[in-house]
Structures are given as C-alpha cells and as structure tokens.
Structure 1
C-alpha cells in the first residue's frame, strides 16, 4: 500500500480516513485551525495494552461468575413457620477461588519477566555510569595530587625544564606552552570566552637554587599551576596528543609498507624475476590486504633497488677481501674460478672467488663481463684481472693472495695460466704448479 493511502485520524475529531484526504477534511470541517494528525501509538505499546486489557477483562469475568455461583449456593427458601425458623441452619460458604486461563497466566509471566529484565538493564547502566564517574574523579584527584607534588619539587629556574609542553627561552625571558600556542585558536568558543590573547605565554624568572625563592618566582609557579589546571590547556594537550598519535601511526604504517615492498623486491631478485614481476607481486599483495603504501611501485624503483643492493654487496666483498684473518694474522688466500657462458647470443665470462669462511671453501660470485671469442686466451685472462681489480684487488695483492684457480679443459689448452701470470706479474712456475694442482682438485670436487 502506498503511504498516501494509509489510514490516519484527525487531531480535532474522530474522523478516520486516507492520508491524502486528511487535509481536505481539515479545511472543510476545521477551517480556523492548523492541520494536524493524531500520533499513532507504537505497535508494541498497542500489543501490550491489548494483552493487559484482555487479562483484566478475563479476570473480572471469572470473579463475577464465581461470586454469582456462591450466591446461588448460599440462597435458601425460608418458610414463615417458627419451627422452620428455629431449625434453620446456614452452612458457611466455601472459599471463593479465582481461576484464570493458562494463556492469561503465560502472558502475565512474560510481561513480568520483561519488566524485570528492563529493571536489571537500567540498574546495570546506572552502575556503569557511576563507576565511570568514580574513575574520572579519582583520576582527576590523582592528577591534581601529582601536579601539586611536581610544583613543590620546583625550587629553582632549572627545575622548570621538567615541565612538559613548555619551551623556555632564557635569552628573551619567555616561557611558551607549545600545545596552547598550536591549538588554542581552534578551541571551542565556550573555552575561549574568558581567555586573553597572551594565554600560554609567561615571563621567565631566574632563580638561584641556593637562595630563598623570590616573590616573582613563586608567582610564576602559581601561574603555571593555574595554567596546567585550565580546561583550555587540557583541551590543547589532548589535541596535541592526538596529532602525535596520528603521526606515530603514520610512521608505523609507512615502515610496515616499506618492509613489504622490500621483501617483494628481494623475493623477485632471489628468484631471478624481473621488474615486471615485481609490479605484479605488489598488485597481489595489495589484493591480499597487505599494506604497500601509495608510491615506489614502479619498475624504475626495482631497478634502482637492485643496483643499490649490488653496490652494497660489492662494498662488503671488498672489505672482506682486504681484511686480515684473526687467527693467522695474515691476509686471506683466494682462488679463482672463471668460465664462459653464452646468453641471448652474447658471450660472457663468469668470474668467481673461492675463499675459506668458517673452515669451509665458499664460492663468491663477482661479475659476468662481456668477452670476445678468441683462441689465444690473452683477452680472457685480461678480462679476469680487470674484474678482480674492480673489487679492489691490485696486482701486488693478487701476487700475495692468489693461490690457484679452477678452469675447464678449453682454458688449459689456451694456456690461460701463462697469460694470467703475465697480467699479474707473478712467476710462471708458481702459477703453473697451482693451476695444475687446483685443476685436479677442481675436477674431483666441482
């Protein structure tokens, strides 16, 4: 049914009809009065009122029926003879019982239960509000006690630095409340009605701790205490704490988003995925509900991060190669491994180092640089030496630290040991001995 066709009642008479006809009725029968409608009672109130009325009517009917039955039982016919009057005996009436139907009892029980629950809820709400008021009063009294104790401990001008939210400028002889300076202009009007424009600004007074407190210093302490107890100052402090909390939450969320982006980039780098997969990984994290922020989501960032990681790792490798072994007190010996590989029709030479870390031979990747395909081996040896130089290993350091290398048969046929010896300036016999020995070890272990 449309709302305009609903049944309404006139406010001035008992007319009941459609809502769209009510205004015409009022103009016709009540032209000198304002158009009004009666407020419809709540459905629940109407339901309970009907139940109560039904209970009352049923109970009244039952009582009347019982009383009528008792009157019929007690009524007797009295003869006009004296004997009958002398022998007349009236039996006491039986106890009157009021019987109600089961439906009436169940509804009354439900109503009583509802009233009892409402009373319990009201008592619980009153108890909670009372406890809240007690907590607020106790906290305010506790804060006032702490404030009183704090100002009693201030005996000199240096103790004023213990107070929070104050900025003391001894050169200009001013004390400024930072919270009030930021937020007092944004306060509600009822807090600004009795406040002066210089609210939160005080004159700095110098006080020596070994002397008796001057009148000016005591006045300053009293004014500061009144300022801390002022409602406007409390409101400004709450606003300042909210801003600090929002900033803290922002920094925490930003840090979490940065960690998520860094982990995604590291995952892509470790698994050999490209910058496009990095963007797809961030989209997946965003769909899963992880915090990733609003920037640093491009392929350019991934490339810059990868270059920065490579630079950092290279710096650490250089520091390790230049360090001294804490046990032998000498520089760590190194071995080299290099071999050619062809990727996308380009020939690269992979150069690695073998160092002893925690008692184990550990390979350390350096670089894969472009190289030419040639049969002499001279340019391959020069390529390897250039890679070692880029990691801070000079020729003198290579002469002391380089102990051998592992290569395959093609490098041996190209006499790579002689070309390597010529590039670093080492003796051919020594390099040959190490290359032969290390090659044999490499064949068995690598």
Structure 2
C-alpha cells in the first residue's frame, strides 16, 4: 500500500457516529467508584447550576472513557508524555526481509493502521470478500479507542549492513555494555529490530492493535517477543495519582510529568543530536524485571520500608511529611544512623545521587501466571523509560542501582532492550521514521 507521499495508506477521518453498543461499556460502568461519579458530575456542570445539572451515571462515564481519543498525528509520537493509560501490550519484532523498501512499506502500513486504531476504527471500512479472511481480526469491532496510543521504535540491530543504514545509527544506540544486574537477561526476550508500544484503558484494544500490526508485518518482519502489562506503575500526567507496584509501594513519585515542559526538554526529547532524523524523538529503554513475590512477602514491614526509603501506607519518605515532601538524605536518627539508608532504592535512584539525571518512567505491572520451573508467581515490573540518551541517563542510574540497591535481593532484570523512537507522524501519507530513509 503506497500513499502519495510515501509508503502507507492515508487514514480516513474518524467517524463521529457511535458504533454498536459495547459489552465492555456496561462491565466497565459497574467498576466506576463513587470518586469517579463525583468527578464526572463536576465535569458535567456547564452553564446550568450544579443543582440543575442532571446526574452523570456510571454508564455515561464508562462511555466517555471508551470514546476518549488521543491525537495520532503530530510533531512527536504519542504514548511518551501522554497521561499513562491502564493497559499495555509491547511487542519486539525482527525484520526478515533484506529489501529496505519492504521496511519502508511496513512503516507506512503501520502508520496508516495506527491512525485508524487510535481513532477507534478497524483495519478497513471495506466489507471484504466473504470467501477470504477478513481485513480486521474483529475482537475490538464494537469498542472505542479507550485513549489508545501506538509508539514505534528502531533497535540498534536495524542499523546493520542489511539496509544501508549503518552510518545513520545514532551514537545513543551504541551498546550499553556490561551493567550490573544484567547477567540473567534472556536473549529470547531481549532486543529486536523494531518495537511497538500500545497503551490504552482497555486490554482488548491494546491486544487488537498489536495483533493486527504484527499481522500486517508478515513477509517483512516476525514477532520476536511480547509482553502484556496491567495497572500502570508510573504517573506521567499532571494530576495522576502515584500507583503501586506489586511490592505494594508507591512507585515513581518524582517522575517527570507531561506539564513539566522544561524537564521534558532537558531529559526526554532529543534535539541537536548527531543524527538529525531523531530530533523530536526519544530513546526507549525497556526492562522486564522479575519480582521475587514470595520472598518479599516474608520480609517484615520495617525492612521493606528501609529498602524503599518510604512508608508503605502513604508513600511519604521516612524522613517525614507527605508523599511529595522533599527527602532529607542527610538526616540521622538519635543513634547517628542515616534515616534513609544509603543503599535504599529511593536514595540510589534520586537525581541528587546521580548528577541530576532523571528519566520519564512509563512502567506497568505484569504477570505471566505461574513459573513452571519454580511453582512461584511469574510477575513483576515491565519498566519503560524515555530519555535523550540512554548512556548518560539509564546506564548511569542502573549502574548505581545494580551495584548496591537493597532491592536487588528481590528482583532480577530478565529481558528488555533499547530503541530509538523517531519523531511523530505529521499527516496522512507520512510514516514512522521517514526522515531516517531520506
């Protein structure tokens, strides 16, 4: 499928008409709590007084959530600073073709599909041939977009000698080298020429997006590995509450938020790099971090809080205050011992301990059921972070954490990778990373 300005098809204008009634709308409506109802009622106050405004029902709030869209076209890719959604599916693929034009056509198809999916539309509006497989797999047929975002990245392996791109590989994609804690990384769930990150507030919507984009890659690329995530483990949007990880602690309290434009420009968005095609892009580091749930559950509360450096109930630092109170790393107790352990997670990960280095975190909890070898829960954190330079940011932080973080007794990095996420798709006919091939 080739558009007028490059490979791909242009996406149709989103249809404002609501399509069939969604079963998930009613199921989701039942899960809306009183706080959500109150917020929705407040949002519904317009010219009329609050007393005159009709009550907003759980079903109406669920319908609004289902219909919510995030613009796809833009200077920068969505899914980086977008307020973090509740569900994730991540996929890494390897390119099997040796023709660079096949890669370009694939990126064009993906851009066209992403534009449709993020608007709540199927692969095609054509009825198709009843004697052939349908264009769309159909599992999201009666669903809205649920704030779906689709973010695409290029791995270092894409810049080998297959496609003539070796001299266009950014320095930031050079191998990170040996980092403490990487010894158990599994090759089968590490790396990939391409990656797709799909985030939304509905699990079937993210699955549908990845499934159909992988399907569209047949003949050009194959799935290398994938991961489902639930229950966001970070907050990226202004006003989002800090979520809890599977150890039960609030995680990412000091994350960069979307309204911190200065922080984003300094730490997240690429500009003036050695490869100008990456300007307005960002580098994604993903890590699948297994948590030793059963061992953690036997540890006493005081030690758990010492490991994190925060209270488990409120998220407040052990030096006092509320969750967002600045941490006094120099404070000592009556015995002269630092209140915040020097090897606590919050201390080692702090900008103060790392020359001001910060990341935009966008992680998710995950579970893969039961580990057949150990009988334990196969669960943990699927860590996603965005930054200007993985060497100057992620590697610096992870080297410090990997050496002496008290949490290392309970976690292991078992997979992941690094990808260059190029600028956004600006308009219909444009495609992911087009300037890389110019």
Scaled by the length of structure 2, the TM-score of the pair is 0.18
Bigger helix share: 1
Larger-Rg structure: 1
Q: Which has the higher contact order (CA 8 A, sep 6+)?
A: 2
Scaled by the length of structure 1, the TM-score of the pair is 0.18
